[in-house]
Structure 1
Amino acid sequence: MTVQPGLNWPDVDLPGSRGGFVVIGDTTTARRVCAALTERGHVVTHLDQPGPTELRAALTETVDGVAILLHQDEISLQYAMAVAHAAPSLRLVVEIFDATVSAQLETLLPNCLVTSPGRLAAPVLAARCLDPTAVAITHVGPRRGLAYDVKDDGLTVREWRRSHPRLRALRGWLASQVMPHDAGSTLLTVGLLGMLSILVLDWLWLTHGGVEGTTAFQEAVAVVATVGPISEHGEAYAVFAGVAMLLTLVFAGMFTAGLVDQLLGPRLVGLFGQRALPRSGHVIVVGMGQVGLRLCRHLIALGVPVLGVERDARGRYLGTARNLGIPVVVGHGGDRLLLERLRLDHAAALAAVGSADLDNVSVAVAARGVTHQAPIVIRMGEQESVSESASLLPLGVLCDVVELSAAYVIAHLFGHTAALALPRGRDVLLETAQGEYLSWRAARRDACTHGVRPGVHRRDA
């Protein structure tokens, strides 16, 4: 399906009144929104985290809309309720991650649009990982989606399906069930398999020697339990049983150590089941913040196995990832040994989507040292100088999440109900509810001259 094949991509300036706007937040998105509105001639009051008196003073009659762009959901919710109480008719855009809070806030405040950078960026990041020709892949059904291709002569929308051979998928699933991922899991697996092997070998020895099956099983269990063989079966078997009991002590110790590690450690990865580590055809997502968690959920909906990496064992969203069945390994994504253990060379792609641009670049450098085959997707936008430098290096595909968020927020401040934000070079295409597309170019964040702390970024984004 082709949409507007003759579209010539004019640089459309979003229409609206020449009134004022209030931007609340010390984030890069807030500075980018402030800079874009200022460039278009609007009066912008940019506040960091204002008190009640300062907020009420900013909500004058000349204000057309308010954008609350913070990383803390509870503070954003507080400001949204305060603005709605003081000026209920104003357009209000709020960034909130929690889906439940978002739904409730939009129900309570009809003039409020709740969005999240992770929700906007997930289709774009997924396309970078799965389809090099698409700029975004949205989810429409199990293992199915719509792929958006942006070209000079128009925008093409086509059906996308998860392409994964059944035999390879089965092999990858089996490998994920039996291949341990860390030292504790290795001890548990080796110990368990060792004891089972001794049990089977002992049973086979006895049944081959003419002992009845149930009796042979009982005697094999006695050997594994290190209480000795029940009856005599020759000198050779006596030697075998003695060695087997000694080995069982070693295997039992390994199994116990691994079991204690599994029970007392953070249970973010399972040995079996949904949270077992995928071993091939998976996407490794480094940075399990807002953007990383949304990306994992989007990829799972498209039928793609995912594996998260988070260096903070007390990360804010690790509990959510565990409840969603997303396997997460605690470690530094820039550790080459870790990437090799996670089988990056067999992965479909790696997405470095942490909140710090420099960390994402370091992850990309380490990933390129492991493989040159898997696509590397790098989240950028928080630090403009880093983004410009990284674009000169052949590390991977860059995705400016801040630019997508800023374009989406501004569209809604001007009354455009944007449904999707698509990157196109240095522009952002905004798909409206009417099926039209607007081209928007973001301003540099350093064009914001208000006294908000520069260079602020959070680890939980």
Structure 2
Amino acid sequence: MVIGATTLARRVCASLREGGHPVDHLAAPDDQDLRRALAARPAGVAVLVDDDLSALRHALAVRHVCDTVRIVVTVFDRTVAQQLELLLRDCVPVSPADLLAPTLAGLCVDPDVLAVWGDGHGAVAVRQQEGRLVETAWRAAPAVRRRALLGRLRGQLQPHDADARLLLIGLFGILAVLALDWIWLAGVFHKPVSTAFLEAARVVAGVGPATPHAGHPGYEILSGVAMLLTVGFTALLTAGIVDRVSGPRLVGVLGPRVLPRAGHVIVVGLGQVGLRLCQTLRQLGVPVVGVEREPTAPNLRLARSMGIPVVLAHGGDRAVLARLGLGRACALAAVGSDELDNIAVAVAAHGVAPDIRVVLRAGEDEAIAETRSLLPLGLTRDIIRTSAAHVAAHLTAHPAGAVPRRVVAGADCDYVDLPGRGLVRRPVPAGDDCAHVSGGGERDTAQSVPGMR
């Protein structure tokens, strides 16, 4: 039984029916619909809706009616997923974002790698060798690691936004005045270092030299000019601090959240897929910067807590991409929920850096069903097709313990990792839509709900 009217639900239903499995598809069932459908004792239930709360409600209702059926449910929030696993027996939460992140990360770091993930002892890469898939240890080449390290170092104290620039101009201006006055007093007047520092600090604070220096009008003029300059530098420093404190502070000035300047990956679209991709790349030691155009996007707070620098801008703006150092980056991943926007980002990226590696997310837009047409733009992966392969493998697993552990998305097919069998090729259904309606012969006219961010 499949519950949901999303594109993923229709793909899963079509895949199961093509494989010879009878499917009962409920687009938006109420409690009575669930009771009637579960009376037939289905072998498995897939709850494939676009909202975590709806998914939680449907999963709880299914388990209440039938305490033995296997449940696969799409959940994006990891806290909700953990609670479902604790509360419901034989319930498998699946996040399309988590499923596709290793594949997207692999394409970003190496075009010859199908996927890369950490196994607790290092990174593992999946490659295609002699017509079969093999898993090998992965580590970035020394030149790539060195370039990434230098890119991080170059990003320190190089502000990206206006408030950070004001802060640094004010701070370094005050420090320059303090150092110049201190050196003059200690080197020319031969004052003790501590006394020279006190008098220099008084100049910076705007209260003038500690004592007059007869016969040295040049120093008095310098002190007066320094005090006037300090007033301006203090205003700039204060403005920068106020903007940083009151703003979102998504990019750091110093530390791990600075913008890398080379050897990094630019991730455009910080929804669930983009956030998981950034997190995976960071775990692999690859510098990353996120680009999000919505200042109120819910994942911005999570990105900041994870130490991921995020720039609020439109990823299709060529000036923005140039400012982010696209020409010195390893790759750009356009993984927003709007696939037409992803294509626009890819076109802009090739306009700024023609040789840049571009990774595209596709699968949800009906106008972009044929992903081969996007090959000139970059490496494209269909998130819906890959998620459908994973869910269908869960529902048809025999015995129940032989469920897939992960899925690898290829260009033309998907591979599910089955216990004892390794990565097994999953055929792509000939049809990608569902003509099945629960309890009737009419075609299901439910439209796809674009919620898989």
Q: TM-score over 0.5 for the alignment? A: yes
- Counterpart residue number, 1:212: 192
Q: Distance in 1 between matches of 2:448 and 2:74?
A: 19
Q: Distance in 1 between matches of 2:142 and 2:31?
A: 55
**Any idea what the Cα deviations from partners look like across 1:301-333, whole Å, max 9, x if unmatched?**
111121111111111222222222222222211
426, 429, 445: which is aligned to 2:432?
Answer: 445
- Counterpart residue number, 2:112: 133
Q: Aligned in 2, Cα 1:141/1:62: closer, same or farther, shift over 3 Å?
A: closer
Q: Distance in 2 between matches of 1:34 and 1:151?
A: 33
- Counterpart residue number, 1:10: none
Letter in 2 for 1:60: A
- Counterpart residue number, 1:173: 152
| Shift, 1:202, TM fit | 1.4
- Counterpart residue number, 2:133: 155
| Shift, 1:139, TM fit | 0.9
**Any idea what the Cα deviations from partners look like across 1:335-354, whole Å, max 9, x if unmatched?**
22222222222222111111
Deviates more, 1:68-77 or 1:230-239: 230-239
Q: Distance in 1 between matches of 2:241 and 2:113?
A: 45
User: Is 1:102 aligned to 2:81, yes or no?
Assistant: yes
TM-score (normalizing by structure 1): 0.89
55, 63, 66: which is aligned to 2:42?
Answer: 63
- Counterpart residue number, 1:269: 251
- Counterpart residue number, 1:36: 15
Deviates more, 1:165-174 or 1:100-109: 165-174
Deviates more, 1:350-359 or 1:273-282: 273-282
Give secondary structure in 2 for the equivalent of 1:421.
strand
Q: Aligned in 2, Cα 1:426/1:170: closer, same or farther, shift over 3 Å?
A: closer
Q: Distance in 2 between matches of 1:103 and 1:340?
A: 41
- Counterpart residue number, 1:336: 318
Q: Distance in 1 between matches of 2:370 and 2:8?
A: 17
Gaps of 5+ in 1: 1-21
Superposition CA RMSD, Å: 2.0
| Shift, 1:452, TM fit | 4.8
Give secondary structure in 2 for the equivalent of 1:391.
helix
**Any idea what the Cα deviations from partners look like across 1:376-398, whole Å, max 9, x if unmatched?**
11111111432526734521111
Letter in 2 for 1:354: G
Q: Aligned in 2, Cα 1:54/1:406: closer, same or farther, shift over 3 Å?
A: same
Counterparts of 1:229-378 in structure 2, within 5 Å, are: 229-233=209-213, 234-378=216-360
CA contact (8 A) 2:84 2:93 kept: yes
Q: Distance in 1 between matches of 2:203 and 2:147?
A: 40
Deviates more, 1:44-53 or 1:427-436: 44-53
Letter in 1 for 2:141: S
Q: Aligned in 2, Cα 1:331/1:354: closer, same or farther, shift over 3 Å?
A: same
Q: Aligned in 2, Cα 1:392/1:73: closer, same or farther, shift over 3 Å?
A: closer
Q: Aligned in 2, Cα 1:102/1:131: closer, same or farther, shift over 3 Å?
A: same
| Shift, 1:177, TM fit | 2.1
Give secondary structure in 2 for the equivalent of 1:77.
helix
| Shift, 1:68, TM fit | 0.9
| Shift, 1:241, TM fit | 1.8
- Counterpart residue number, 1:13: none
Q: Aligned in 2, Cα 1:170/1:231: closer, same or farther, shift over 3 Å?
A: farther
CA contact (8 A) 1:92 1:111 kept: yes
Q: Aligned in 2, Cα 1:246/1:452: closer, same or farther, shift over 3 Å?
A: farther
Letter in 1 for 2:327: D
Deviates more, 1:34-43 or 1:388-397: 388-397
Q: Determine what percentage of the aligned residue pairs are the same residue.
A: 47
CA contact (8 A) 1:119 1:294 kept: yes
CA contact (8 A) 2:288 2:309 kept: yes
| Shift, 1:238, TM fit | 1.9
Give secondary structure in 2 for the equivalent of 1:196.
helix
CA contact (8 A) 1:48 1:452 kept: no
Q: Distance in 2 between matches of 1:262 and 1:177?
A: 17
Give secondary structure in 1 for the equivalent of 2:275.
helix
| Shift, 1:149, TM fit | 1.1
Counterparts of 1:79-90 in structure 2, within 5 Å, are: 79-90=58-69
TM-score (normalizing by structure 2): 0.91
- Counterpart residue number, 2:71: 92
Q: Aligned in 2, Cα 1:171/1:151: closer, same or farther, shift over 3 Å?
A: closer
CA contact (8 A) 2:407 2:415 kept: yes
Q: Distance in 1 between matches of 2:355 and 2:223?
A: 50
Give secondary structure in 1 for the equivalent of 2:408.
strand
| Shift, 1:182, TM fit | 0.5
CA contact (8 A) 1:279 1:346 kept: yes
Letter in 2 for 1:40: G
User: Is 1:457 aligned to 2:450, yes or no?
Assistant: yes
- Counterpart residue number, 2:417: 431
Give secondary structure in 2 for the equivalent of 1:309.
strand
372, 376, 380: which is aligned to 1:394?
Answer: 376
Q: Distance in 2 between matches of 1:161 and 1:251?
A: 46
**Any idea what the Cα deviations from partners look like across 1:71-100, whole Å, max 9, x if unmatched?**
321211111111011112112101112223
Give secondary structure in 1 for the equivalent of 2:387.
helix
Q: Aligned in 2, Cα 1:407/1:170: closer, same or farther, shift over 3 Å?
A: closer
- Counterpart residue number, 1:73: 52
Counterparts of 1:3-22 in structure 2, within 5 Å, are: 22=1
